[in-house]
Chain A
Amino acid sequence: GENVEQHPSTLSVQEGDSAVIKCTYSDSASNYFPWYKQELGKRPQLIIDIRSNVGEKKDQRIAVTLNKTAKHFSLHITETQPEDSAVYFCAASKIEAGKSTFGDGTTLTVKP
């Protein structure tokens, strides 16, 4: 089955700096890659996603890049703010699997 590795497990940045979180996946047939943000005590929420027919997608300060050849995708957050502090999960899925496989998560701390 699919295996998703996520790095780093913790990331601390200064407010205004950029943050990058990286994930690799094992199943070359995976074609959908969402990112979820989970604030302390709250539910995971989708922040951005990308499908395998696209190499990059951007939404204001958040961007995701996908390298299908290397089987990795990354989350980029620019101009970080304290409210970006949360746990971020990447995931990978394909329709045949019927489910998403999650990475282990990255705890991002943005220091004011």
Chain B
Amino acid sequence: DTEVTQTPKHLVMGMTNKKSLKCEQHMGHRAMYWYKQKAKKPPELMFVYSYEKLSINESVPSRFSPECPNSSLLNLHLHALQPEDSALYLCASSGTTNSPLHFGNGTRLTVT
């Protein structure tokens, strides 16, 4: 069983669409993350939320907009994406920012 749940599993969107990725965890973790992963590469950090506040933005383009409505939920809003943004988007959580990451199964995003 996956303790971090991501929806949807797959998403195909055009460059003019607006869509959202969702992530939920019920482990009481106070740090939540969005990562982007391309094939055969390590996960690339995009955003970190600590205690529901955005603590790290790794210079991600504004077409990606994160949101943390509460301590269990994390969203990633997508708008005007480019084909090169096609990737696996992984959500993760951890007890602190210096403890094991628990990854969700990811959303496979294709931008056409």
A residues with a Cβ closer than 8 A to B are: 31-32, 34, 36, 42-46, 49, 87, 89, 93-95, 97-100, 102-105, 107
Contacts and interface: CB of A to CB of B under 8 A. Distances in A.
Q: Can you list the 7 inter-chain pairs with the closest CB atoms, starting with the nearest?
A: A102-B42, A95-B98, A43-B103, A98-B97, A46-B100, A32-B98, A43-B105
Which secondary structure dominates chain B's binding surface? loop
A27 B66 CA distance: 29
Interface range for B: 20 to 34
B35 to A, nearest CB: 9
A54 B8 CA distance: 40
Given A43-B2, A43-B90, A103-B42, A98 B56 contact: yes
A44 B43 CA distance: 9
B98 A31 contact: yes
B99 A99 contact: no
Interface centre among B55, B97, B104 (most CB of A within 10 A): B97
Nearest to B33: A99
A45 B45 CA distance: 16
Given A43-B105, A105-B41, 6 more contacts: A31-B98, A36-B101, A97-B97, A99-B33, A99-B45, A104-B42
A100 B55 contact: no
B96 A44 contact: no
B105 A93 contact: no
Nearest to A93: B98
